[in-house]
């Protein structure tokens, strides 16, 4: 693929860092932009019986969970669902009522023994508007009442849709940074919309209130081949790479054949606000004729020993399709900065 303007941007951000100097190293362990490998058992999670999708996974590792098990939350058409695992590969629905409650696109943030489940809640049959809600739990089984922590208030959040969704929450110093998606762009070949902008809200308490930046951080760009339709969603990785913030993003784009697509790529930033693509191509993309033929969507990336584990959902068609959850992995030294970009 042509390197073009993204390679120039990478060179500027990295101060002219060459890709994989000298003899090329093993791509799986030596290059951050290359060598992401799908798990042999993919897809790991199928939709619930009678439903066409299970999507937007968020994962709690055993060492961060209240019971030493793996936990994963995702959504189906009917609401938020909870899965458990002994090894992070073989998953089953958690015991009890499913779905837990109405909602979509969950993310779990943990602090001081409390788990905060953030999710998007749509209103109306047209799904034209949504808010960001939060519930808390100490055991990942029983969740408290919902509170609304974010709703569309800015002009750029209210276009074809009026939405706040796709939450990702992290703590930066004494502040809580809440990344979110807003508005939507209708994709004619699927019949549904995709998140148009990515914004940031900040607060002094995990439960809010949150104050939004008045402009989006990311949006569609005709010159961006992997976000020429919409920005999609973003999650910041907990470790920095060569002094830079590192994030995963699934932009929405139309390919050369005119199909709408989504793929996962890496972004870097010096401040968490201005973001630049690190790689010339996505790290996980739609491919083949199987379960990820059309779209590779939202994700959650965790360090597991000396590997990065990326859980994501993919779709096998456009207007008609099934969405499932799978896993891609990448070798990860103790210091991510030991990896070259190899963009």
What is the structure's pLDDT at 127?
A: 83
> Buried (b) or exposed (e) across 291-327, using 16+ Cβ within 10 A?
bbbbbbbbbbbbeeeeebbbbbbbbbebeebbbbbbb
Dihedral of CA atoms 129, 185, 250, 261 in degrees, nearest 10, equals 130
Report the chain (343 residues): mean pLDDT per 10 consecutive residues: 33 34 44 97 98 98 98 98 98 97 98 98 89 98 98 98 98 98 97 97 98 98 98 98 98 97 98 98 97 98 98 98 98 96 94
Do the beta carbons of residue 245 and residue 233 sit within 8 Å?
no
- Alpha helices, H only, the chain: 4-13, 27-30
Looking up tokens 């993309």 gives 285
**CA–CA distance, 184 with 198 (Å, rounded to integer):** 11
Structural tokens at position 60: 């709690």
Residue written as tokens 């860092």?
17
Q: Which helix (H) or strand (E) holds 120?
A: strand 114-123
Do residues 230 and 195 make contact, with C-beta atoms less than 8 angstroms apart?
yes
Rg (CA), the chain: 19
12-18: long-range contacts (C-beta < 8 A, 24 or more apart)?
13/244, 13/268, 13/270, 13/276, 13/278, 14/242, 14/268, 14/341, 17/242, 17/340, 17/341
The structural domains of the chain, ordered by start, are 4-11+25-338 (2.115.10.20)
Q: How far apart are CA 52 and CA 321, in angstroms?
A: 7
Handedness of CA 37, 219, 150, 129 (dihedral sign): negative
**What angle is formed at CA 132 by the lines to CA 131 and CA 138, rounded to 5 degrees?**
145
* 260-269 and 276-277 beta bridge pairing: antiparallel
Give the C-alpha separation, 275 to 15, whole Å: 15
- CA gap 287, 294 in Å, rounded: 7
Q: Both tokens of residue 177?
A: 């940074």
Chain mean position to CA 276: 16
Does the pTM exceed 0.85?
yes
Work out the burial of residue 186: count CB atoms within 10 Å of its CB; fewer than 13 is exposed, 13-18 middle, 19 or more buried: middle
């Amino acid at each position: 693929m042509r390197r073009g303007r993204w390679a120039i941007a990478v060179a500027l951000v990295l101060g002219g860092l060459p890709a994989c100097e000298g003899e090329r190293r093993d791509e799986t362990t030596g290059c951050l932009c290359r060598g992401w490998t799908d798990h042999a058992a993919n897809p790991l999670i199928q939709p619930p019986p009678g439903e066409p999708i299970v999507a937007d996974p968020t994962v709690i590792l055993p060492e961060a969970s209240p019971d030493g098990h793996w936990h994963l939350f995702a959504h189906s058409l009917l609401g938020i669902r909870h899965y458990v695992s002994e090894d992070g590969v073989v998953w089953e629905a958690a015991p009890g009522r499913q779905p837990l409650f109405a909602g979509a696109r969950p993310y779990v943030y943990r602090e001081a023994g409390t788990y905060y489940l953030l999710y998007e809640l749509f209103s109306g049959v047209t799904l034209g508007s949504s808010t960001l809600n939060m519930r808390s739990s100490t055991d990942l089984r029983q969740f408290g009442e919902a509170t609304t922590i974010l709703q569309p208030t800015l002009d750029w959040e209210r276009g074809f849709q009026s939405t706040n969704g796709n939450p990702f929450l992290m703590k930066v110093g004494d502040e809580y940074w809440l990344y979110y998606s807003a508005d939507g762009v209708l994709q004619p070949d699927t019949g549904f919309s995709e998140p148009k902008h990515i914004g940031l809200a900040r607060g002094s308490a995990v439960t809010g209130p949150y104050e939004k930046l008045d402009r989006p951080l990311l949006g569609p760009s005709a010159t961006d081949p992997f976000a020429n339709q919409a920005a999609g969603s973003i999650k910041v990785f907990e470790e920095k790479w060569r002094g830079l913030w590192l994030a995963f993003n699934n932009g929405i784009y139309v390919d050369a054949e005119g199909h709408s697509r989504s793929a996962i790529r890496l972004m870097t930033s010096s401040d968490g606000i201005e973001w630049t693509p690190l790689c010339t191509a996505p790290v996980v993309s739609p491919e083949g004729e199987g379960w990820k033929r059309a779209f590779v969507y939202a994700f959650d990336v965790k360090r597991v020993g000396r590997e990065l584990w990326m859980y994501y959902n993919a779709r096998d068609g456009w207007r008609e399709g099934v969405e499932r959850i799978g896993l891609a992995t990448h070798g990860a030294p103790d210091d991510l900065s030991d990896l070259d970009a190899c963009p």
